[in-house]
A and B are shown apart, each in its own frame.
Chain A
């Protein structure tokens, strides 16, 4: 089976700082993968390189058999850690924008999810609460029929009920032939939803294993292992 993500010898330097060093990573289709690591370990750098927002200093990165470019952007649905949408737009306008931008955006699905959440489509984005803003953005991302979903901190700063909704949305909209890469600090909340986890440390991959492998080998949760590995 061809690899959905194939990263070889990836290094990224920001002037004198090395954010990623010689990272090798392969991801197959049909997995939900957690990208875990403390602040500054290189998570967002790795994500931005996959999305074509940053260029590698060296190494090769392929998604769905293509070098990063137009083809890969069309198969990646990306939830950034900060919003890029204009707060003065209504949700209905934003949906229309996504229909124009992405051939694979399913607007019916998006309205369905909005309806479940009882969010008014004619509300301006900036008038929504933080939690609802995050939910709307997740709806936008999950309503695309992409091969790779990349969610950068999708559950940061929302209440536990909203977190449950977000995880439920991820599970129930998940297409078994797609892969979802979720970066987060809140491991215990997402752990049971993940197939595999990747621990990043000092710009390198410290561990890449399945959740159940870790639990049966270590006799502890991924969250507990993480706290042990990254104890300050």
Chain B
């Protein structure tokens, strides 16, 4: 089970996220052809219908598109991919900041700690 999905969140959402990360990280390059639904489903060890639904969702939001006969491709719109990267990063930073606040750290303290960690 190579995709490491959480057991308590909808699988569909996690597949969408996983593929978004794969697009942003360049694992799938702009314009690249995706494997078939069946192969992706087998790789992720998920239901092919759920995989299909996730791909349709990503198509609907424009991150990929199908060509009638030749398959499904990642968007070539690099601006769109960069924007997605920014959104995903912001979401992670918000989660991080909430955790830090729960630990009772001020913004300044957080900044200092982050800088120290990044030096290492």
Residues on A lying within 8 angstroms of B by beta carbon are 30-32, 164, 167-168, 171-172, 174, 176, 188, 191-195, 211-212, 215-216, 219-221, 223-224
Q: A164-B1, A171-B38 are in contact. Are A193 and B7 (CB under 8 A)?
A: no
Q: Is the CB of B49 within 8 A of A31?
A: yes
> Which of B40-48, B80-88, B96-104 lies at the interface?
B40-48
Our pick among B5, B13, B45 for the contact of A168 (Cβ within 8 Å) is: B45
CB proximity of A80 to chain B, nearest CB, Å: 24
Q: Is B50 an interface residue (CB 8 A)?
A: yes
Chain B hits for A221, CB < 8 A = 7-8
Q: Is the CB of A171 within 8 A of B47?
A: yes
Q: Is the CB of B10 within 8 A of A212?
A: yes
Chain A hits for B60, CB < 8 A = none
Q: Is B12 an interface residue (CB 8 A)?
A: yes
Q: Is B115 an interface residue (CB 8 A)?
A: no
User: Please, which residue of chain B has its CB at the minimum distance from the CB of A219?
Assistant: B8
Q: Is the interface of A mostly helix, strand, loop or mixed?
A: helix
Q: A168-B42, A171-B48 are in contact. Are A191 and B7 (CB under 8 A)?
A: yes
Q: Is the CB of B11 within 8 A of A192?
A: yes
Q: Is the CB of A223 within 8 A of B45?
A: no
CB proximity of B97 to chain A, nearest CB, Å: 23
Residues on B lying within 8 angstroms of A by beta carbon are 1, 5, 7-13, 38-39, 41-42, 44-50
Chain B hits for A194, CB < 8 A = 47
* 28 pairs, A vs B, C-beta closer than 8 Å: A32-B47, A164-B1, A164-B45, A167-B45, A168-B45, A171-B38, A171-B45, A172-B39, A172-B41, A172-B42, A176-B48, A188-B7, A191-B7, A192-B46, A193-B46, A194-B47, A195-B50, A211-B11, A212-B10, A212-B11, A212-B13, A212-B50, A216-B9, A220-B7, A220-B8, A221-B7, A221-B8, A223-B7
Chain B hits for A172, CB < 8 A = 38-39, 41-42
Q: Is the CB of A192 within 8 A of B42?
A: no
Our pick among A30, A171, A176, A215 for the contact of B8 (Cβ within 8 Å) is: A215
Chain A hits for B47, CB < 8 A = 32, 171, 192-195, 211
Our pick among A164, A193, A215 for the contact of B9 (Cβ within 8 Å) is: A215
Chain B hits for A30, CB < 8 A = 49
CB proximity of B56 to chain A, nearest CB, Å: 14
CB proximity of B37 to chain A, nearest CB, Å: 9
CA distance A224 to B11 in the complex (A): 15
CA distance A221 to B45 in the complex (A): 16
Chain A hits for B13, CB < 8 A = 212
